[in-house]
Amino acid sequence: MSVVGQPVPKAMISRREAPPQPRTAARPRPRTWRVLILVLMAVFYVLPLACAVKFSLINQKGTYGPQNYTAIVNNGSLSDALVLSLEIAAVTAGVAVLLMFPTTVLVRLKLPKLTILMEAITILPIVVPPVVLAAGLLQMKETAPLWIVNDFFNHPLTILTPMYVVLAMPLMYRAIDTGLRAIDLHTLVDASRSLGANWPTTLWRVVLPNVQTAMLGGMFLTIALVLGEVVIANQLDQSSLTFPLQMIQFASQDNAPGISVAMTLTALLFTFLLLFMLSFLARRRGPGAARVIS
């Protein structure tokens, strides 16, 4: 018996009443098959890249050096082709955003029954081969009026950009649609409209900041598509060579195969930097964050 108000001796405390000691969770060891798969993937991806890097560093004298990479900058045709491809990629990404962003928002808000139709339309550039699109455009060039040929078929920027916008539709539409699905679009638009904002302001200052990560993803994928497309450029671009066509041309030359590999690695590095920038922006943005810009 213990007196009320007096402390109970420590010896009388049962071991069962003692607070349990926290146990440190043992770190599970990775299974052997997981490690094996990771090693095989690393060998499958890293080994060819390492061989390509080694081959690109071999100059015409047979020694190692950065001459193949400096040739990309010093060679006028290569630098012009790179600038031309980047211009086409930037214009294509901008036009694709201007076309697909309002259209996707309109379908989500006002015309949800047309979602299946939009899915079917935007999947056509993947189903139809690019060479078929290029052949149809060449047929149209032969029968088009002279002013159309002079205005649209004589410069790679005007002839390749519309075709690349069509090819980028599946990427851009699905990227923007995924971003719109992740937010409460109806609530954001209703709140903005009730505060007196018009439709351009609502799209620019309310909807766009909430899907900017998804839109950047679509733009980066579009740029990567343009920097690697060769079929349509080879069929339609007869006046100048884009960066992918220059890679093919240097690969066919016996005295400059290393320059072609260096150009390939440069395009791959540029695409990797774009995707890394996208992942950084997505991590900084945070998943599923919705906000209204006042």
- Residue spans of the domains in the chain: they are 34-65, 74-285
Assess whether pLDDT exceeds 60 at residue 24: no
What pLDDT shows up at residue 101? 93
What pLDDT shows up at residue 239? 56
The DSSP result for 147-199, as a single string, is HHHHHHSSSHHHHHHHHHHHHHHHHHHHHHHHHHHTS-HHHHHHHHHHTT--H
**Rounded-to-integer distance, Cα 44 and Cα 46, Å:** 6
pTM of the model: 0.74
What pLDDT shows up at residue 99? 92
One-letter amino acid at 204 equals: W
Assess whether pLDDT exceeds 80 at residue 151: no
Segment 204-232 shows an average pLDDT of 87
Asked if residue 134 lies in contact with residue 231, where contact means CB atoms within 8 angstroms, the answer is yes
Q: Please state which of the ranges 98-112, 142-156, 164-178, 206-220 shows the lowest mean pLDDT.
A: 142-156
Radius of gyration of the chain (CA): 29
**Rounded-to-integer distance, Cα 221 and Cα 206, Å:** 24
Assess whether pLDDT exceeds 90 at residue 62: no
Pick the CATH number of 74-285 from 3.40.50.720, 1.10.3720.10, 3.30.1370.60, 3.40.50.2000: 1.10.3720.10
Q: What is the pLDDT of residues 80-100, one digit of tens each?
A: 888 888 899 999 999 999 999
**Rounded-to-integer distance, Cα 202 and Cα 192, Å:** 6
